[in-house]
Structure 1
Amino acid sequence: MSDDKPFYEPEDHPDGETDDKPCFELYIKASSIDGETKGSCPICQQWFMVAYILAENKNVSFRVYTVQANMPPKSFKDRVSSHNKYPVVIGLSGKNANSGADITDIVADDFDEVESFFESVNFDCPKLKRIEMANGLALKIFEDLYKHFNGYLQNQHDLEGRTLLTDLRNINSFLEEQGHMFLNGSTLSYADCVLLPRLQHVRVAAKAYKNFEIPHDLTALWKYMENGYQTNAFLATLPSDQDIVLHYEKKAATKLQGSFKPTLQKRTFSTEIPVVDGVNGE
């Protein structure tokens, strides 16, 4: 991590001078491969997406720094009490949207604090709030997806992933019933920022360690992922396949399938869609 060179800074970057909108720094886990680019943490990507969308809607300005969890720089350690939990948010300037309080130097370094911070700088994007009713309903549909996915990878005797498949089919059914581009409509919501990163981990890591593929007959789910890949917020924050695979190297009970070597390969990003009914494919 370099203090004077953010990993990501939108064109409308925080200057702390004339703009009244909240400005902050977002610290996410760095790649385990090069220690510089964005890493594979799905929670970090979730909040990176939220920040990105808020900035698109002119609510905030922000910049992103990547941090090696086991080697945070001194400048970061001096400001943050917890060095093992990411993401971390540090306020630069601006006001709390609800109370009007100054957010300068506020440090949010656990999940609840990070969520509260983003709630406080969200002026007019209610769909990005977890407490919105539609988000609560959608989150219930896939609340056990990531747990079941991890359990599948850690069980060498589970070859089919039936519980994981049930979760995926439930998501597919929900999307069919809703009939929207995304979980709650035609634009990304908080629930989408939670689900899409986790689906990418399922897609990439389950294939690498178990030769598992999301069934092609889940057309609503594949169309949903295609819609996600076409958004700047998801595409710009997406970790590489290699980083995702390496994320589970010590967790998975089975060895990598084929010749996949995450630390030796050129970075790839799985965004292609299989040719199935109702989905364009590539």
Structure 2
Amino acid sequence: MATARKIELFVKASDDGRNIGNCPFCQRCFMHLWMKNTPFTVTFVDMKRAPEVLKEVAPGSQPPFLLYEGEVRTDVNKIEEFIEETLCPPHYPRLSPRYDKSNMAGSDIFHKFSSYIKNQNPAMEEHNEKALLRTMFMLDKFLGTPLEHELKADPNLKVSKRLYLDGDELTLADCNLLPKLHIVQVVCKEYRKFGIPKELTALSRYLSNAYKRKEFANTCPENNEIINAYKSVAKYYKI
């Protein structure tokens, strides 16, 4: 049995200070720790009020940061590496994906989304929307293409049946991508009346499966948090 350790995760707080705020990196770490099936506490850091916790624990840092047995880690990638190295088998599940390509799937979506939603020039609207759509179609193709282990089990398989990016279990690849996809869905619907095309069945299936998992659904910020976070940069072009 693994020895109990004191683990504290600090994430950006919502406007009311009671829940997680709009920050895909915070949600990424939240999901990661939850998936390790180990006790930990979460502190919602109110960034508007310059909380003392930042001055005392991680001066000059922005959430997320991790306090593990009194030692602070502040970089999201280093936090992820530390969690995987420290909370490792046989007592904790290994969450790194088996395929490198799973880590890369959908990697350009958030960048294209940012260009699309922050665009101030109506003449570029169609161009940016098509660029975002191309990244969605690429992700859908990846999700619909059987992976090596699927083909080994069924050489005649034409369309993947896996639940998530790397297989039937959530991995770090999902922790990275899903929070961003959630933001893309919420913001595009609100400010562009734009959603994931119905023909992207593999992507739609992936998201449906993900929202059934408490590690993802219960760490998502409220939609209004996300909408308000983009209010100052998004333009209503399609009302």
Q: TM-score, normalised by structure 2?
A: 0.84
Specify every segment of 5 or more residues in structure 1 that has no aligned partner in the other structure, as ranges.
1-17, 92-103, 259-282
Partner AA of 1:29 in structure 2: K
Specify every segment of 5 or more residues in structure 2 that has no aligned partner in the other structure, as ranges.
147-159
Equivalenced residue count is: 219
Identify which range, 195-204 or 19-28, moves more after superposition.
19-28
Cα offset, 1:72, TM superposition? 3.7
1:38 to 4, 10, 20: 20
Matches within 5 A, 1:6-155: 20-31=3-14, 33-55=15-37, 60-83=38-61, 85-91=62-68, 104-124=69-89, 127-129=94-96, 132-134=97-99, 136-155=100-119
1:159 to 125, 129, 132: 125
**Distance (whole Å) between structure 1 residues aligned to residue 2 and residue 39 of structure 2:** 9
1:205 to 168, 180, 187: 187
Cα offset, 1:109, TM superposition? 1.2
**Distance (whole Å) between structure 2 residues aligned to residue 234 and residue 256 of structure 1:** 31
- Whether the 8 Å CA contact 1:28–1:87 is kept in 2: the answer is yes
Identify which of structures 1 and 2 has the higher relative contact order when contacts are C-alpha pairs closer than 8 Å and 6+ apart. Answer: 2
**Distance (whole Å) between structure 1 residues aligned to residue 21 and residue 238 of structure 2:** 22
Q: TM-score, normalised by structure 1?
A: 0.72
Identity level (%): 31
**Distance (whole Å) between structure 1 residues aligned to residue 86 and residue 60 of structure 2:** 22
Cα offset, 1:70, TM superposition? 3.4
Partner AA of 1:154 in structure 2: K
CA RMSD of aligned residues (A): 2.0
What SS does the aligned partner of 1:70 have? helix
What SS does the aligned partner of 2:194 have? coil
Counterpart for residue 101 of structure 1: none
Counterpart for residue 5 of structure 1: none
Counterpart for residue 187 of structure 1: 169
- Whether the 8 Å CA contact 2:117–2:233 is kept in 1: the answer is yes
Partner AA of 2:86 in structure 1: V
**Distance (whole Å) between structure 2 residues aligned to residue 168 and residue 127 of structure 1:** 28
- Say which structure is richer in helix: 2
